[in-house]
């Protein structure tokens, strides 16, 4: 099949599979797809072959560490980890992403939590991935022509490929460019759909407000990082368009917002088990029923998700989320108001500092140890922003039952387009606590 046909085939299938309104129907389809996935894909993986014929719950759990350790036996094409890592590092250093290992493209995850992960996909899988995203992102379908601009950290031949389809043009804008060059590339692309990491979208929104760039996208998707309230507001205000979200990691296309702007997991092609964290919070353990080169089976993501209290009014059967809370690593450990060390979800801090927007335009809060934080601020008027930020932090800590933190000011935010923006980050290790597992 040509690329355009492969794309359209997967696109039509993704449109059909996504449209499911009954949980029963969805779960029966998942069971059918898992049986087919086990016999066609997992049977070709030396690591998973011994589990043939058994239910999903009998398969071993996986995570990034296991994926790296057992990569050579997990993948179904006899690929060798060490060769692929070397090729991926070469591509990153030269920013020439064209050489592929056969038709297999190689990516390294950005490794915010230390270790980098290795992910591979064939050309067919990449087309399928793009088709799955577009099937859901372009709600009115392919009747309209679209120019899609993707602000991404690493190129990938995929975007060249999909351009072959007449109705959709992709422009890839490399975040390794200088900010000014990135704005020029973006303006030249005149996107109708803009996709990028939220902290970069917020910088583009600033440029739009100050008249440095003229863009009028009809849709904007934040992807690759948690969308925080002040970025959402800044981008929506600057462009007059609501901000949708794509929940996407190197591990796959995991979810997207619906017509009601509620995030749903892509359970038509994922089975999502939950490791409960109490309340409606959980860590997702995903099985991707489509990836064939590098099977993703019971893979524990490092994210904390919060289920929506009510079903989404859009009627989709796929699980609706209230939000992605962030990475599990980002839980802060602070002094309790009455002694001891207590966990504190970064959401408290995030919401409090978002409340200080627009006086506090952007910030980074780094926890160095249980007692002290480093705060960086971007603000037009620092004399006004600093006390506001301090008051917001004190209030957030008090609400969480924590003692007031010691906060050191450390100048403005250092923006690095290529790095994942983590506004709140804990930079010391604490023994795993009972809280994290209960």
**Where on the chain is the footprint of Zn ion (CB under 5 A)?**
258, 260, 262, 312, 314, 316
Give the number of other Cβ atoms within 10 Å of residue 53's Cβ: 9
Can you name the residues that pair with 343 across neighbouring β-strands? 333
Exposure class string for 122-161: b at 16+ Cβ within 10 A, else e: bbbbbbbbbbbbbbbbbeeebeeebebbbbbbbbbebbeb
Token digits for 152?
């991404």
Contact indicator for 328, 304 with CB cutoff of 8 Å: yes
Gap between the Cα atoms of 394 and 181, Å rounded? 40
Contact indicator for 182, 171 with CB cutoff of 8 Å: no
Which CB, 149 or 258, lies closer to Zn ion? 258
Q: Cβ 408 to Zn ion, closest distance in Å?
A: 43
Can you name the residues that pair with 28 across neighbouring β-strands? none
Contact indicator for 372, 406 with CB cutoff of 8 Å: yes
Q: Cβ 308 to Zn ion, closest distance in Å?
A: 9
Which CB, 269 or 422, lies closer to Zn ion? 269
Which CB, 314 or 407, lies closer to Zn ion? 314
Which CB, 14 or 262, lies closer to Zn ion? 262
Gap between the Cα atoms of 364 and 376, Å rounded? 5
Gap between the Cα atoms of 390 and 139, Å rounded? 43
- Can you list the alpha helix ranges (DSSP code H) found in 101-170? 123-137, 158-163
Q: In whole angstroms, what separates CA 49 from the centre of its chain?
A: 30
Gap between the Cα atoms of 352 and 398, Å rounded? 11
Which CB, 315 or 358, lies closer to Zn ion? 315
Contact indicator for 112, 422 with CB cutoff of 8 Å: yes
Token digits for 112?
């915010």
Count Cβ atoms within 10 A of the Cβ of residue 196 and give its class: 0-12 exposed, 13-18 middle, 19 or more buried.
buried
Which CB, 256 or 413, lies closer to Zn ion? 256
Token digits for 120?
């591979």
């Amino acid at each position: 099949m040509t690329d355009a046909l492969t794309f359209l085939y997967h696109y039509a299938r993704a449109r059909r599979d996504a449209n499911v309104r009954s949980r029963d129907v969805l779960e029966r389809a998942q069971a059918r797809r898992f049986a087919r996935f086990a016999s066609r894909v997992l049977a070709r993986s030396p690591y998973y072959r011994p589990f043939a014929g058994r239910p999903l719950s009998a398969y071993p759990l996986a995570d990034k560490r296991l994926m790296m350790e057992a990569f050579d036996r997990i993948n179904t094409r006899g690929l060798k980890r060490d060769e692929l890592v070397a090729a991926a590092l070469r591509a990153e250093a030269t920013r020439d992403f064209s050489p592929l290992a056969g038709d297999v493209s190689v990516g390294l995850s950005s490794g915010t939590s230390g270790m980098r992960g290795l992910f591979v996909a064939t050309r067919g899988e990449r087309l399928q991935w793009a088709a799955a995203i577009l099937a859901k992102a372009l709600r009115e379908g392919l009747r309209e022509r679209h120019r899609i601009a993707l602000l991404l950290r690493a190129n990938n031949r995929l975007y060249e490929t999909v351009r072959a389809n007449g109705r959709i043009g992709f422009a890839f804008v490399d975040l390794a460019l200088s900010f000014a060059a990135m704005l020029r590339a973006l303006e030249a692309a005149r996107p109708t759909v803009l996709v990028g990491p939220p902290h970069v979208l917020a910088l583009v929104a600033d440029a739009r407000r100050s008249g440095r760039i003229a863009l009028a996208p009809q849709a904007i998707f934040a992807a690759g990082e948690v969308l925080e309230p002040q970025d959402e507001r800044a981008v929506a205000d600057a462009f007059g368009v609501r901000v949708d979200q794509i929940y996407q990691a190197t591990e796959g296309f995991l979810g997207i917002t619906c017509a009601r702007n509620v995030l749903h997991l892509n359970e038509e092609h994922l089975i999502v088990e939950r490791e409960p964290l109490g309340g409606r919070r959980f860590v997702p353990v995903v099985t991707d029923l489509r990836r064939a080169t590098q099977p993703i089976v019971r893979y524990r993501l490092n994210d904390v998700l919060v289920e929506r209290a009510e079903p989404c009014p859009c009627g989709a059967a796929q699980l609706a989320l209230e939000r992605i809370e962030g990475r599990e690593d980002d839980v802060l450990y602070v002094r309790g108001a009455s002694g001891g060390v207590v966990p504190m979800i970064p959401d408290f801090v995030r919401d409090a500092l978002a409340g200080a927007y627009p006086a506090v335009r952007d910030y980074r809060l780094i926890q160095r140890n249980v007692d002290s934080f480093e705060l960086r601020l971007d603000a037009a008027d620092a004399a006004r922003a600093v006390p506001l930020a301090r008051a917001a932090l004190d209030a957030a800590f008090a609400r969480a039952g924590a003692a007031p933190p010691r906060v050191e000011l450390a100048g403005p935010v250092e923006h690095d387009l290529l790095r994942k923006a983590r506004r709140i980050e804990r930079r010391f290790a604490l023994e795993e606590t009972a809280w994290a597992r209960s």
